Amino acid sequence: MSLLQATLPYTHTDDLFIDGAWQRSTGAGRTEVTNPATGEVWGSVPQASVADLDAAVAAARRAFTGSAVVGSGWRDLAPAVRARFLRRLASEIEERAEAISHTNTWENGSPVAETSKAAANAASIFRYFASLAPLLETPDIRPFPDGSAETVVRLDPVGVCALIAPWNFPINLVVAKLAPALMAGCTVVIKPASPTPLSVRLIVDAAVAAGIPAGVINLVTGPGSLGDALVKHPGIAKVAFTGSTPVGRSIAAACGTLLRPVTLELGGKSSALVLPDVDLDAMSQVLIRSCMRNTGQTCYISTRVLAPAERYDELVDMVTATIQAAPQGDPMDAATVFGPSATHSQQQIVRGYIRSGLAEGARATTGGDVTSGFDRGFFVKPTVFADVTPDMRIAREEIFGPVLSILRYSSLEEAVRIANDTPFGLGGTIFSADPDAAFALAPRLDTGSVGLGFFASNHAAPFAGRHDSGLGAEFGPEGLRAYLSVQSVHRRIR
């Protein structure tokens, strides 16, 4: 495979971003960055030492509270002033759109058709949270029931936040945390996932160009043990994490012991509930976006398709044809829909699930336990399984790869039961020609979000998982409040 021309501002680096400057790491180890489409190492970053981590947290604390040297802290700026910084940051990110896209693609193999939207989406997240400045400026006054006094409810930033992001969307899943944290008045230490440590540096560059004061944003890189140390660091006031449910449980346990607030956006095993009146042509147009986005490496996608028995065969045919027609190949090619798995280990996990599905009696209508057709890279052939039953592993466990399972149901009650028979509760989709019927059905699905005829996140609405899919919410005013602490000030009025 010959990769197309790429813009890569960063490759092999020796520094971390601490206290407003790129500083050489004192750590001895390094993490290599591999292109999943070729299997070749093209970059590397330092593994931060304990001293580096301490320096980053200390810088964030100084920037938060202010000092005789730096003057007032980030928390002390008026919300409207912080909002202006966020808007400038959004514009600077847009200026780096191509470099962000290409670096992201070389890190995790996401096709440029996906990553080319990352900068615009990140910018829109910053602008949305900047628009919430009035929520922090308007006094919330609540009278005592007897009318003798009133309470002014104040919102204070919680402090220094640890932002820990995954590898599947390394830009937007950082920004979903960074934007509300900054708007609230918090300062941050960012720890990206080990496979994707370079693209986020472009967000830091944009922050410098936007004039974000030194210490407000800090970036450290390293393995999972560094993330664990960051979560437990005494200078951290809040943790925000996106990633797997097992790691989320560990972080939740640590934060519970420390009584430290935490937001967790974790795994999913969502369902696309297809009603008998579905328009299959319309469904085919949004199938991949809703059920296999980013080569199946998306937490909320509906990887279980629940099909009515009377239309099962034609739905299997439509899904199979749609997946077969979507090109897989060079992720730098704008026509590519399916890229490689992000890492060699993830490729092996996905292939293991495919073999499990076949062993348990599922039927691969396309893909299966076959060679990818590529002589290098971490590719897995997109696979559709029919004749899947709810007890199979492929129907119960999060695969995080291009594997779709189609289950049969005989009644709506059975469909709802199958959809809710999972420890997860993140996303879900309902496909019906009757929007009112779909809307009436949505509350019966025990999940944080439901799409009617499509699935997408809305920056103005909370994205929250239930059960094993997480704690707390991102986006919307709810996402901003996750970075705020309340204070009630009681005063007499007569």
Strand 271-274 and strand 304-308: pairing? parallel
Give the active site residue among 265, 291, 398, 474: 265
φ, ψ for residue 419, nearest 5 deg: -60, -35
Helix (H) or strand (E) holding 21: strand 21-24
- The rounded distance, in Å, linking the Cα atoms of 169 and 5 is 22
- The rounded distance, in Å, linking the Cα atoms of 294 and 288 is 9
- Put residue 352 in one of left, alpha, beta given phi > 0 → left and psi -120 to 50 → alpha: alpha
- The rounded distance, in Å, linking the Cα atoms of 277 and 306 is 13
Query: Is the separation of the CB atoms in 447 and 119 below 8 Å?
Result: no
CA 18 and chain centroid, separation: 24
Encoded amino acid at 270, one letter: S
Query: What are the angstrom distances between the C-alpha of 485 and each of 126, 240, 282?
Result: 21, 15, 45
Helix (H) or strand (E) holding 14: none
Which of 17, 16, 27, 22 has its CA nearest to residue 50?
27
Encoded amino acid at 429, one letter: T
Query: Is the separation of the CB atoms in 240 and 164 below 8 Å?
Result: yes
161: which 2 tokens?
């936040």
Which of 462, 460, 432, 435 has its CA nearest to residue 448?
462
Which of 319, 122, 106, 269 has its CA nearest to residue 204?
122
Helix (H) or strand (E) holding 101: helix 97-108
- The rounded distance, in Å, linking the Cα atoms of 319 and 366 is 10
371: which 2 tokens?
């060679």
Q: Is residue 265 annotated as a catalytic residue, yes or no?
A: yes
Give the active site residue among 161, 299, 398, 474: 299
Query: Is the separation of the CB atoms in 283 and 442 below 8 Å?
Result: no
Query: Is the separation of the CB atoms in 60 and 181 below 8 Å?
Result: no
Q: Is residue 299 annotated as a catalytic residue, yes or no?
A: yes
Which of 404, 163, 116 has its CA nearest to residue 265?
163
Query: Is the separation of the CB atoms in 360 and 387 below 8 Å?
Result: no
Q: In 445-476, which positions are buried (b, 16+ CB within 10 angstroms) versus exposed (e)?
A: bebbbbbbbebebebeebbbbebbbbbbbbbb
Residue labelled with tokens 């490689």: 340
Catalytic positions are: 265, 299
